[in-house]
Amino acid sequence: MQEVVGASGRRRLDSLTGARFLAAGLVFFCHLATSGFFVAGSAPATGLMAATKTAGTIGVSFFFVLSGFVLTWSVRPADTYGGVLRRRLVKIFPNHLLTYALAMAVYASAFTPLGTALLNLLLLQAWSSDPMVFLSVNGASWSLSCELLFYVLFPVLLPLLRRIPARRLWWWAGGVAAAVMLMPLVAALLPAGQTLPVTGSWLDGVSIERLWLVYVFPPVRLLEFALGILTARIVQSGRWIAPRPASTGLLVVAAYVLGLYTPMLFTVAAVTVVPLALFVASLAQADSAGAGTPLAAPVMRRLGEASFAFYLIHGIVLEYAGELLVRAHRAPSTGQGVVVSLLTLVVSLALALAIHRWFETPLVRWFGRPRPRPVVPAEAGSSLGR
């Protein structure tokens, strides 16, 4: 079978764009559970905490797999290392710098040391195992520290993974997925060290070092990115044989439920990575074949396009709302907690749509445009697509 390596003539992956908002929404509800909007120990607080144990981890894992898939799907045959890296950096850094500045202005500057602030600014915070570092300033941005590594290595990884014969892609994808699933056992070999305090959350008593290795450490999360590259190659090579989106979506739901009952180190990615990879690939296959899914609807596509801004802004909104409640010196009733939760969702979404339209999109268009390249003899040319 002939493998498609370019992006020209391909259908847009609108279903995957819509799915991005679902993933960002899961992260929002995960953070909402720890926001303090409901009285600790109450039925709403306990229920929300129990129901969202898998929410944040599955959302982040989806984005990591999706990154590898989409970059592979959209790469151009004549792309250079610098061209690919420039386009990816302009996708993350403007929004990161904007939300970084906002977080520092609203709350973080009061207690963030200069060294920690610089690490966060440069998206290097995830390389530290100290939660006061990798969750500093705008806590959600730790995942961008992983994405930065992905983008730097992608132009190197893709040519290597393209050497894998199409007939062996499923075996390689299975091997990488198995490596992700085995990481909690590898982490268990580390000394437990300091554990997180008991606060009524899903992280009670979890080893900080082990959690960091499985959940935050960029080289470990690179496995999910590589799995995304391999699944994209499977679809591109015409070797997709797995179920349709409805079936893979049910697998994701089942994995989510399973993650509610597994130890946290397994919930992070081990129990969800295979269903997520299958789901991403099945959505892409459906869009590529012109079948489409409800996730490709215009409203979902619009929300998905703003999902990155939503992911980065929602934690700041939740933090600010939490501070307002603390200043009020009163525990909110269940009804008030529901109202505040809905307000933070609406405000986060409104800000995200505004950031995407008037800040992110213009900058991406300006700085992401192809730069003129000097004419060189054909035999001297070098491109990512080779």
pLDDT number for residue 93: 95
Cα(176)–Cα(234) distance, integer angstroms:
14
Both tokens assigned to 255: 């994995």
What is the phi-psi region of residue 169: left when phi exceeds 0, alpha when psi lies from -120 to 50, beta otherwise?
A: alpha
DSSP 135: T
Neighbours of 220 (CB within 10 A): 20
Question: In the beta sheet, which residues pair with residue 195?
Answer: 207
What is the Cα–Cα distance from 132 to 128, expressed in whole angstroms?
9
The C-alpha atoms of residue 201 and residue 30 are separated, in whole angstroms, by: 10
pTM: 0.92
Rg of the chain, C-alpha, whole Å? 21
- Residue pair 229/237 in contact by the 8 Å Cβ criterion: no
Full pLDDT tens readout for the chain, 386 residues: 334 434 434 578 999 999 999 999 999 999 999 998 998 888 999 999 999 999 999 999 999 999 999 999 999 888 888 888 888 899 999 999 999 999 999 999 999 999 999 999 999 999 999 999 999 999 999 999 999 999 999 999 999 999 999 999 999 999 999 999 999 999 999 998 899 887 788 898 999 999 999 999 999 999 999 999 999 999 999 999 878 999 999 999 999 999 999 999 999 999 999 999 999 999 999 999 888 799 999 999 999 999 999 999 999 999 999 888 877 766 778 898 999 999 999 999 999 999 999 999 999 888 766 665 554 454 444 445 44
- 243's tokens: 């179920």
Do residues 66 and 228 make contact, with C-beta atoms less than 8 angstroms apart? Answer: yes
Beta bridge partners of 207: 195
Q: Write down the pLDDT at residue 166.
A: 95
Report the C-alpha gap between 345 and 314 in whole angstroms. Answer: 8
Closest CA to 315 of 6, 150, 96, 74: 96
CB contact set of 14 (below 8 Å; sequence gap of 6+): 287, 292, 295, 296, 301
Buried/exposed code over 311-329 (b: 16+ C-beta within 10 A; e: otherwise): bbbbbbbbbebbeebeeee
Helices marked H in the chain — which ranges?
14-33, 43-51, 55-74, 81-106, 114-121, 131-134, 142-161, 169-187, 208-211, 218-236, 245-259, 264-267, 273-288, 298-305, 307-327, 334-355, 361-367
Which residues have CB under 8 Å from 35's CB, separation 6+?
Answer: 318, 321, 322, 341, 344
DSSP letter at 356 equals I
pLDDT the model gives residue 384? 59
Tally Cβ neighbours within 10 Å of residue 174: 13
Reference 129, options 181, 187, 52, 185; nearest CA is 187
Backbone angles phi, psi at 156, to 5 degrees: -95, -40
Please report the DSSP string for 141-183 in residue order: GHHHHHHHHHHHHHHHHHHHHTTS-GGGHHHHHHHHHHHHHHH
Residue 337 to residue 317: CA distance in whole angstroms:
15
Q: Could you give the count of Cα atoms lying within 13 Å of 268 in the half-sphere of its Cβ?
A: 23
Q: In angstroms, rounded to a whole number, what is the distance separating the alpha carbons of residues 375 and 354?
A: 40
pLDDT, position 208: 95
